[in-house]
Structure 1
Amino acid sequence: MAGKSRKKFRIIMSSLLSLLLIVGVGANIALAYYSDVITSYFSKIDITTPEAQEARAHSEKITQLITDEGIVVLQNNDSMLPMTENKKVNVFGWSFTAPVYLGSGSGAADASTAVTPKAGLEAAGFEINEQLYNDYVATGIKRPVSGIEGYDWTIPEPVASEFYTEERMKQAAEFSDTAVIFIARAGGEGRDLPSVLDGPDTYDPNGSTMGPSGERFGNPDDLDPNKHYLELSTRELGMIDAVTKHFNKILLVVNSSNTFELDWVRDYSQIKSIVTVAGPGQTGFASLGKVLAGELNPSGKTVDLFAADVLDAPAMQNFGDYNYVIDNGNGSYSLAADKNNVPLTYVNYSEGIYIGYRYYETAAAVGAINYDEKVMFPFGHGLSYTTFNQEVVPGSLTWNDTDISAQVNVTNTGSVAGKEVVQLYYSAPYTGKIEKSSIELAAFAKTGLLEPGKSETVTLTFKVEDMASYDYKGAYSSTGSYVLEAGEYQLLLMKNSHDKIADVASQTLAEVVYNTDGRSSDQQTAVNQFDDLVTGMGSIESYLSREDGFANMDVLKTSDTYTVATEEGESQQVRGTIVDAAFVDYINSKRYDIPADKQENAPTTGADNGKKLSDYVGVDYNDESWNDLLDQMSVSDLVSLGTLGGYRTLEVTSVGKPATVDYDGPAGISALLSKDPMSGVAFPSETMLAQTWNIELAKAMGEAVGAEAVAYNVTGWYAPGVNIHRTAFSGRNFEYYSEDGLLSGKFAAEVTKGYQSHGGIAYMKHFALNDQENNRVKGVLTWSNEQAMREIYLRGFEYAVKEGDAHGAMSGFNSIGNTWAGASSALLKEVLRNEWGFKGIVNTDFFIQPSYPYMIADLAFRSGNDILLTGVAPFGVPTINEKSNDALWALRENAHNVLYTVANSNGIENRSSTDMPQWMVITIIVDIVVALGIIAGFYFVFRKRKPAAPAAA
């Protein structure tokens, strides 16, 4: 019996040990397979090295300089600001206790050590009503955490009737006769701000109620279909009424990178001054304190026009969630979807070029609107504590066939030192053949600090061809072209987009059609490249025109409301347009059909030419010797380099290419996917940076981030964000500069130059027309015309390439017309590379299959998208048809772009650590311990036991 028990024991134990061995081997195989994503998850930016500490200290100084000049004083009645005498203030508004420093998503940064508004004001000598402040804290209200995964649009604020009691207001009035009202709005990646507060945009990962009130949509009294997120909430309005009832000296601070609706201020004469603080980052609220105290003279200007009603902008008629709908023929409708069940969503840029100040200034000029009623603050507006006189230096104007230059003398005529922005605009003739804004920003400059009575002369220059408009309709050339129409062109020195300082000059110019030689900055003549994408099925039939005072405003309505059945069998109302099966087939073919091979032979691979990438530093891109290096790459090398591009470029040993590390985002280096995300210094939002109108600060920011990147061993930076503030409601406006392409482009170019001066690679994003977040990961079909695309939405990227020499770009999630941006050869090859001369790496936005099935890797590679941002590789990495000759030739061309860019970057130095990741060390130790345990287990189970000694007689 003992033998049988022993045998049974051995069977059981050996089975358990074998199972443990199998599990251990399997776990190690899985760990090896997912080693990249695990390493990325556990990676940290080391901010403790002396080099990192030095770089961060410098960055913090630059953030302070930016916010010193980026805060904008919108209104200052009765000279309430600066507050130099009575510095005891009551600050009303819960958001003062928890402000918005930046935004959520890849553009976020660590603001845990940022200067708070309270600390900023106190450092400037203000005494805050502590009792009032503590009462706000005691409410227990929390700012909803919104991110890529979900959103809660609650506007945190206590119930006015309960909080603003007579007793509390009496205490505040006794403390000080001055009140500050603090209002904040947040934005982030993945969802746009709601234009209707009706409650559907609530995210709840746990299935429980959300928001400080415990209601599904946060504060139930703010659930109002007649309200939107960028106007006063019901509770805020109650606060305003309570404060204005008790105080006559009130300052309003708006903490938002999205233009907030301020028409209500007209009803409250007690509100003397308004200050806007876009995402302030690390140190911005210190600047706010200094501005309010008069230690700092504000010099910021708006980068977006502030409309009295933000819903009044033409672009708002086609912004948000729009779906193509199938008419089932029986009175019912269903959502149209492609063959992979991706809903077909769209957005129409029916307003054409008329966004922001281009619409409001033009509409006022043609008598279509009353400007004073429709506009609160113009584009380029901002007040100072001093006064300036601007005048063109006599005889300084140069206007020849190619260039325009003027010198403007700026004198500080007030009593306080300050800086001033000089804005030069032009007005082009409108013939009806090509749409024109009545006024366009042409050039700008900012003075240094001018003491009272002192002057500075600034020079503003631009090219005559910059006044050309793009003729996509073929009025002057059948191919489409830039055209300088014949007529009178006026040059205007402006205080902002609306208020004129002086007429500088005017000339009657002859017609110039740039369809042969093209513009001087183009390497290939610009012609229509997007006809196949934005015309045909689904395209916009007509666009807004200024003709007859915008008589065709009805073209903006491009959708109706339909009731469709959901997958759960319920019904919902959607805004959209009816399409038929032919349209769905058309989109399927554009999205998924891979053309037959044209190449008869595959490229050479796996050659032994003895070349290394280090041999090619400084070698011209078009040098034929690159072929010797590329021939050495295997098929596996080509595929891996292209498909494993998430937050890095891959090491390729066959050509001696080191790995490089890439990180997000526009407000500074950010390790988004790490377990414990560490980030570089939190710079202000791009909106705040642009509000400085000081491109020297843009370059300084780029240089500072570049120095941090070197200290962190980072090469690629997914920035700057160069999309356009098409409306006030884009969730990522804080990641972008302005509604104006010129202003955006000048800042993007300088940030890029600054960053790349340290050898890094700046990936400008999101290329292109990715100007809203709703439906972006559904490949939203974005319809526009080529004039609006080139003059507004591509223009910032154009400057980043031509003036900033950007070495990287990130294609957008969205589609341009019928084609995913990442698979548009018109965008990525013809315009970006051939016209603008870009020589660099194009990466996709986050790539993961099958989550985004419309992002077809084969089409991306053939269209000029070099690598895929597979951030959780190997999960979600696509399979490439390695037997396709065309695919291999495309991958080879893409590899050339990657190798050339890395060879001319600091990545060639292989500064990244080669030490084994800590998790691997721990895994090896655990493996050894477990293996020894299993061996010991088998030993003890199967060892031969000595026979028992015979029992004594």
Structure 2
Amino acid sequence: MLDNLKKKKAKKQEILQLVREDKVKRKERKQEIAALPEAERKAAVESDKHLRKEQKQQRKEELKALSRKERKAAKKETKMYKKIKNRPRRIAGWSVVAALLLIAGVMIGPTVSSLVENMTGKHITIDTTSAEGVKAREAADAVAEEIANEGLVLLKNENNSLPLTDKKINVFGSTAFSFKYGGGGSGASDQTRAVNLFDALKQAGIKYNQELYDYYAGLPELKGATGKSETGLVQVIKGMLSKDGAAGEPEVTEAVLSQAKEYSDNAMIIIQSEAVEASDVSSDQLKLSDEMHDLIERVASNFSNVTIIVNAGNTLELGFVDEFPSIQSVLWVGTPGPFGTNALAKVLSGEINPSGRITDTYVYDVESSPASENFGDYQYENLDKAYINYEEGIYVGYRFYETYYQGNEEGYKQTVQFPFGSGLSYTTFDWNVVSQQFNNDSIELQVEVKNTGKVAGKDVVQVYYSAPYTPGGIEKSAINLATFAKTKSLEPGESQSLTITYDTRDMASYDMENENYILEKGTYQIKLGKNVHEIDRTLNFELSKDIVYKTDADTGTEYKNRFTQSENELTVLSRNDWDGTYPSDKDDSKVTSSKVIERVQGHEFNDDLVMPKTGAENGLKLEDLKGLEYDDPKWNEFLDQLTVDQMIDFVSEGAYHTGAIDELGIPSTVLMDGPAGFSFFFKKFEAGAYPTEIVIASTWNKDLAYEMGEVVGKEAKAYGIHGWYAPGLNIHRTAQGGRNFEYMSEDPVLNGMIGASMTKGAEDQDVIVFMKHFVMNDQETNARSGILVWSNEQAMREIYLRPFEMTVKEADVTGAMSSFSYIDGKWANPELLNGILRDEWGFEGVVSSDAVFGFMESQKAITSGNDLMLDIMSVPTNKKRLEKAYEEHPEAITVGLRNSMHNSLYATLKTYLFN
């Protein structure tokens, strides 16, 4: 036994050395390719891709030649190689949970008491068992299933192979026994009512091969797995501990295959991703495992009608679909909530006509995205911080591919498999532009949509624009989403007229040099598209002269560059010089400048403020302020009554609740995760469960998003919840983001329109909505240690801030959750939270931190615009920080605390507690 352990250890060391050597080789090759001219670079990339494919095929042939025992050992070594290769990201996420548990184990006295209380939720009282609660959940389930129905996307359907004519199917793969209903972490939800895939097939009238099912169900590794689904902390930990991809797909025997061929010529295989909160995925994990590829190859070689189901919140590489002509159809279901299997089964049977559209660009190589060049683990050498450079600028997702390959259709098709916005139907539609009104204020179209097919269905009209571009001038994508509209269900021959409108100003670009937005003169092409690349028709709008916008349209606040610390330090991608500006991490300096160190470590307290009154006896209760404007003078009289100690306690104890101050009529509130339905990270309770946000967005249905927010709000009132930590409005900057399932898309306008609709639905029920994570929380690696995010102002405003701005202005949101990120060198950046959010956009409400870690200090938060500390681990520490800061900067801290109380209580007054 000892010898075996020594051999295993030696083998592990051997593979570890191989991983290190391969890493060095990949980096050197990357640098070689980056140094080549563009034409040679592309050829080199294609050559390497072809070589990898040949090597992969060679490995497969070599494996076939081995004995079963040798093949098993070789696969084990491959799995170990992948596990070691992906370890850095896994450890980065796991260290957070480990640290939390370690702290819980070593703290004593009131600190551990506070930690236990926050983690167990003893201080939070909700009732989900009442008759009202049951009724609210029933309504939630109905909306959740409707979202799953409309969010499913048909990406391929050769020869109209779907819906199935023969309602019998072979379901291959262990993944059918581990269907992913949702994600892990705060984006998880209650899956106790989840419908098993095989039950869903049966209910939809589709017969599955029972013998094939029995074969898989009888395998030791799958025993008891059917229908089980972990959520919350358990799922996060399991996800982070299994980052080597699929756990080895079981082989299918010849006897099983032969029986299946006799049963039906229809076959289905589900492919999945493993991403969860607190852990990103590698590009390798977005490809098929060798075992899964072998299964697909074997099935595709034996069945003529194969359907691939994409059950993933991250964009996977689907190039294998093109390898096998028998793969007739591809269905994307994402992570569709507890009733997603029903939607899938009904689409297969034809009871539901799919109407979803994908929210990301599917490419053959996820690393072809320029943002992927700067994604992952980057550490400073003389500063205990990680950083990330957004060198791709505005060229995120389709904005890159549509611009880079403009005029090069062959190159585009070799790179992009399914464009952003793609989705098919079982019927066909014709569009007719009935009228158009374009002027300097608005763009308005009336589009008649007619169902010209044989079955009922819904269609999505996507409206894009292309702005005039001057080489060397302001960066502009070749095309941008402007807005969209979805029809009702149209019967064959039925038509619906859609009025589609948006502000002309929405097409303006941010001019960093002049610190304003501008619509440059020229021709604006207004494009109606089936997706971003398949344009149905183009209409022109001529602008005779520049229009410059110097102030915000709603608040009148003057625009200015607010994030300038990275100015002149980033080389940002430009369409005027793709070769010279293409992102690369090879020249990143690991030595920080004194400016960055000073920016990160410094914090300014304004000691020139007038000390406010505290502890006054004005006889006011909070209810006396109901209906008053935020800046009504009576607020000052009320806030004068608060003591410093009361305010310190209130802002410090902001994890999932706020405390009561009875003598002033301030009630306690309950604040709950999450974007896919109410959840508590450390404890399960029964609640409505929805598809994750990527599926909600894939419906392209604003009305349905509003309806979800509305039923969430009604559920909150039934349970006694007053604030909702949602929606997540961050961008799918890359395919590797661990929380991509929890966010909506790669496009800010789609995020903003769906997010604002969800928000409005809940806010109309008098519930505080905390839009999150504000801002640029687009990767999980190093996030919880405070990552420095460097970008330029144009990209920040046009991509990352845009969905939050839309939600503030269109939904009158009363809450926000700040991110872990150091924006422009500062956590809780006052230019972000006060300058942009409050002054420029006019936000009135409360800002909570995300879960507090060591770098998130309360005295900096409340003097920068962050009002509540979502503090689970360190409440006493943050109270002491505030007390110490008060001794040194009494005016600044008192004013900061008072502002935080004003913001929090203003939002509380908007809740149903005061109806």
Q: TM tier, shorter chain?
A: 0.7 to 0.9
The code of the aligned residue for 2:317 comes to: E
Deviations 1:582-640 (A, max 9, x none): x3x54443233333542364221000000000001111111111111000000101111
- Number of the residue aligned with 1:95: 175
Q: Report what 1:120 is aligned to.
A: 200
Q: CA deviation at 1:878?
A: 4.1
The structure with more helix, counted as a fraction of residues: 2
Structure 2 residue aligned with 1:761, among 765, 768, 773? Answer: 768
Does the 8 Å contact 1:391/1:502 carry over to 2? Answer: no
CA RMSD of aligned residues (A): 2.1
Give 2:701's aligned amino acid: N
Shift of 1:296: 0.7
The answer (yes or no) to whether the contact 1:709–1:715 under 8 Å persists in 2 is yes
**Map of 1:494 onto structure 2:** 529
Q: Supply the AA of the counterpart residue of 1:693.
A: W
Q: Of residues 137, 143, 160 in structure 2, which corresponds to 1:79?
A: 160
Deviations 1:421-444 (A, max 9, x none): 011111101113100111111110
- 1:550-565 → structure 2 map (5 Å cutoff): 550-554=578-582, 556-559=583-586
Match of 1:526 among 554, 559, 564: 559
Code of the aligned partner of 1:589 = E
| Residues 157 and 235 in structure 1, CA contact (< 8 A), matched pair in contact too | no
Worse overlay, 431-440 or 608-617:
431-440
Q: Whole-Å Cα distance in 2 between the matches of residues 755 and 644 of structure 1?
A: 24
Q: In the TM superposition, what are the counterparts of 1:292-311 in structure 2 within 5 Å?
A: 292-311=348-367
Q: Give the one of 530, 535, 539 matched to 1:504.
A: 539
- State which of 180, 187, 210 in structure 2 corresponds to 1:130: 210
- Within 5 Å, give how 1:18-167 maps onto structure 2: 36-37=117-118, 40-41=121-122, 45-83=126-164, 85-141=165-221, 146-147=235-236, 150-156=240-246, 158-159=248-249, 163-167=251-255
| Change in 2 beyond 3 A, CA 1:140/1:794 | farther
Q: Aligned to 2:538, what secondary structure does the other structure show?
A: strand
Q: Pairwise mapping of residues 723-762 of structure 1 onto structure 2 (< 5 A)?
A: 723-762=730-769
Give distance in 1, aligned partners of 2:237 and 2:749.
Answer: 30
Q: CA deviation at 1:875?
A: 5.2
In the TM superposition, what is the alpha-carbon distance from 1:119 to its structure 2 partner? 1.7
Q: Deviation of residue 703 (structure 1)?
A: 0.6
- How far 1:378 moved relative to its partner? 0.8
Aligned to 1:833: 838
Give distance in 1, aligned partners of 2:120 and 2:258.
58
Q: 1:251 to 1:169 in 2, by over 3 A?
A: same
Write the deviation string for residues 369-392 of structure 1: whole angstroms up to 9, x where unpaired. 711111111111100000000121
Say whether the 8 Å CA contact 1:847–1:871 is kept in structure 2: yes
Tell me by how many angstroms 1:27 deviates: 11
CA distance in 2 between counterparts of 1:690 and 1:543 reads 29
The answer to whether 1:890 aligns with 2:890 is no
Give distance in 2, aligned partners of 1:36 and 1:603: 33
After TM superposition, the structure 1 stretch with the greater mean CA deviation from structure 2, 895-904 or 720-729, is 895-904
Distance 1:156 1:308 in 2: 20
Matching of residues 409-808 of structure 1 within 5 Å: 409-431=448-470, 432-472=472-512, 474=513, 477=514, 480-515=515-550, 518-531=551-564, 533-535=565-567, 539-540=569-570, 542-547=571-576, 550-554=578-582, 556-559=583-586, 577-579=589-591, 583=593, 585-599=594-608, 601-674=610-683, 677-808=684-815
**Is the 1:846–1:871 contact (alpha carbons within 8 Å) kept by the matching residues of 2?**
yes
How far, CA to CA, are the matches of 1:635 and 1:875 in structure 2?
16
Residue 870 of structure 1: CA displacement? 1.0
Per-residue deviation at 1:300? 0.4
- Distance in 2 (CA, whole Å) between partners of 1:300 and 1:54 is 28
After the TM superposition, which of the residue ranges 185-194 and 265-274 deviates more from structure 2?
185-194
Go from structure 1 to structure 2 and tell me whether the alpha carbon gap of 1:257 and 1:840 turns closer, same or farther (over 3 Å shift).
same
Distance across 1 between alignment mates of 2:265 and 2:559: 61
Distance 2:172 2:617 in 1: 72
Question: % of aligned pairs identical?
Answer: 41
Larger radius of gyration: 1
TM-superposed deviation, 1:44: 6.9
- Of 317, 320, 340 in structure 2, the residue corresponding to residue 264 of structure 1 is 320
* Higher mean C-alpha displacement, 89-98 vs 146-155: 146-155
- How far off its partner does 1:510 sit? 1.2
Q: Kindly tell me: are residues 858 and 352 of structure 1, through their superposed partners in 2, closer, same or farther at Cα, counting changes over 3 Å?
A: same
Other structure's SS at 1:64 match: helix
The answer (yes or no) to whether the contact 2:774–2:818 under 8 Å persists in 1 is yes
Q: Is the 8 A contact 1:780 1:814 kept in 2?
A: yes
1:847 counterpart residue number: 852
- Match runs of 1:324-363 below 5 Å: 324-325=380-381, 336-337=382-383, 343-363=384-404
For residues 38 and 686 of structure 1, do their structure 2 counterparts lie closer, same or farther at Cα, with a shift above 3 Å needed?
closer
Correspondence for 1:288 among 316, 336, 344: 344
- Tell me the distance in 2 between the aligned counterparts of 1:527 and 1:793: 17
Tell me by how many angstroms 1:874 deviates.
3.7
Aligned counterparts of 1:484 and 1:658: Cα–Cα separation in 2? 48
Distance 1:859 1:29, change over 3 A: closer
Residue pair 1:749, 1:799 contacting (<8 A) in 2 also: yes
**Matched residues in 1 for 2:519 and 2:253: separation?**
64
CA distance in 1, matches of 2:560, 2:652: 32
Distance 1:638 1:594 in 2: 21
The one-letter code sitting in structure 1 at the alignment partner of 2:633 is E
CA contact (8 A) 2:173 2:249 kept: no
User: Could you tell me how far apart the structure 2 residues matched to 1:641 and 1:355 are?
Assistant: 40
Aligned to 1:905: 911
Contact preservation (8 Å) 1:314, 1:351: yes
| Cα shift readout 1:880-930 (whole Å, capped 9, x = no counterpart) | 122221111111111111111111212446xxxxxxxxxxxxxxxxxxxxx
1:315-371: per-residue Cα shift (whole Å, max 9, x none)? 11111111223xxxxxxxxxx33xxxxx32111111101111111111121549711
CA, structure 1 residues 803+42, in 2 after alignment: closer, same or farther (shift >3 Å)? closer
Aligned-pair CA distance for 1:553 = 4.6
| Distance verdict in 2 for CA 1:596–1:501, change over 3 Å | closer
Structure 2: unaligned runs, 5 residues or longer: 1-106
Secondary structure at the counterpart of residue 745 of structure 2: coil
2:276 corresponds to: 188
- Cα 1:481–1:140 change in 2 (3 A) is farther
Flag the 1:423–1:32 CA change in 2: closer, same or farther, 3 A: closer
2:428 equivalent in structure 1: 387
Please tell me whether the aligned partners of residues 148 and 189 of structure 1 are also in contact (alpha carbons under 8 angstroms): no
Paired positions, count: 793
3-state SS of the aligned residue for 2:869? strand
User: 1 CA distance for matches of 2:119 and 2:605?
Assistant: 38
Matched position secondary structure for 1:323: coil
**Distance change >3 Å, CA 131–CA 264, structure 1 → 2:** same
- Offset at residue 751 of structure 1 (A): 0.5
CA gap of 1:230–1:39, structure 2 versus 1, over 3 A, is closer
- In 2, Cα distance between equivalents of 1:800 and 1:756: 11
Equivalent residue number for residue 9 of structure 2: none
Structure 1 residue 398 corresponds to structure 2 residue 437: yes
Query: Residues 251 and 271 of structure 1 are in contact (CA less than 8 Å); yes or no, is this contact kept in structure 2?
Result: yes
Aligned pair 1:865/2:905, yes or no? no
SS of 2:650's equivalent? helix
**How far apart, in 2, do the equivalents of 1:616 and 1:35 lie?**
35
Which deviates more from structure 2 when the two are superposed, residues 258-267 or residues 127-136?
Answer: 127-136
Instruction: Name the CA distance, whole Å, in 2 between partners of 1:368 and 1:559.
Output: 30
Q: Residue type matched to 1:391 in 2?
A: N
Q: Could you list the per-position Cα deviations for residues 281-319 of structure 1 after superposition, in whole angstroms to 9, with x for gaps in the alignment?
A: 121110111111000111001111111111111111111
Which residue of 2 is the match for residue 333 of structure 1?
A: none
